[in-house]
């Protein structure tokens, strides 16, 4: 089985700006605190799929005293609003993906790095065994070696 990889088409990352998130929060009767504004900024166009702890660490630098509890709270609010995707992967805690466009992931077996990929022609898949299951979404995770780790294994002396 093999898969053809598209020639690096342009990928559009759709991530709400802090301003848009502010509006979305207010519309729902949620308040926009300095803590939340900071998190909105840290998440904007953030491609690192951070964990709550990672965001907390970064946020603490800019706002000493911010609580880990607040980070979780805000992340959960965002996820409930559909502004954040929650990702579960091997090797640790929940990661949050501010990229809510239709995309998938590639995870490196060696360093654990996770990055976004865009898959087309999903409808071309042939699936057996649905047995009445009505699929609405598909989430694909590719495993292998990232560019950096792939180079390393070609030069094992490193």
Partner DNA sequence: TGCTAATTCGCATGAGTTGCAGATTGGGTG
Partner DNA sequence: CACCCAATCTGCAACTCATGCGAATTAGCA
Q: Which residues make up the interface to a copy of itself (CB under 8 A)? A: 1-9, 11, 86, 88-90, 102-104, 106, 108-109, 115-147, 150
Residue whose CB is less far from DNA, 111 or 122: 111
How many residues in total does the chain contain?
Answer: 158
With CB under 5 to 8 Å by kind, the binding choice for 132 among a copy of itself, DNA, none is a copy of itself
CA angle 110/121/17 to nearest 5° reads: 70
Specify the residue for token string 């964990």.
51
Contacts with 137 (C-beta within 8 Å, 6 or more apart), sequence order: none
CA distance 25 to 3: 41
Determine the 3-state secondary structure of 113 from DSSP.
coil
Q: Which of 65, 82, 132, 156 is close enough to bind DNA by CB under 7 A? A: 65
Near DNA in 28-57, by CB under 7 A: 29-36, 51-53
Binding interface with DNA (CB under 7 A): 25-26, 29-36, 51-53, 63, 65-70, 72-74, 76-77, 92-94
């Amino acid at each position: 089985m093999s898969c053809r990889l598209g020639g690096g088409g342009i990928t559009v990352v759709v991530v709400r700006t802090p301003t848009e998130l502010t509006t979305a929060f207010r519309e729902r009767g949620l308040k926009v605190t300095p803590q939340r504004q900071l998190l909105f900024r840290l998440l904007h166009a953030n491609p690192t799929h951070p964990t709550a702890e990672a965001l907390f660490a970064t946020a603490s630098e800019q706002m000493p005293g911010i609580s880990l509890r607040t980070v979780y709270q805000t992340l959960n609010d965002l996820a409930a609003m559909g502004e954040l995707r929650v990702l579960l992967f091997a090797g640790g805690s929940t990661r949050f993906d501010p990229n809510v466009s239709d995309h998938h992931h590639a995870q490196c077996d060696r360093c654990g790095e996770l990055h976004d990929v865009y898959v087309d022609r999903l409808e071309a898949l042939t699936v057996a065994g649905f047995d009445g299951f009505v699929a609405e979404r598909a989430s694909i995770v590719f495993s292998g070696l990232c560019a950096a780790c792939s180079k390393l294994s070609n030069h094992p002396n490193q």
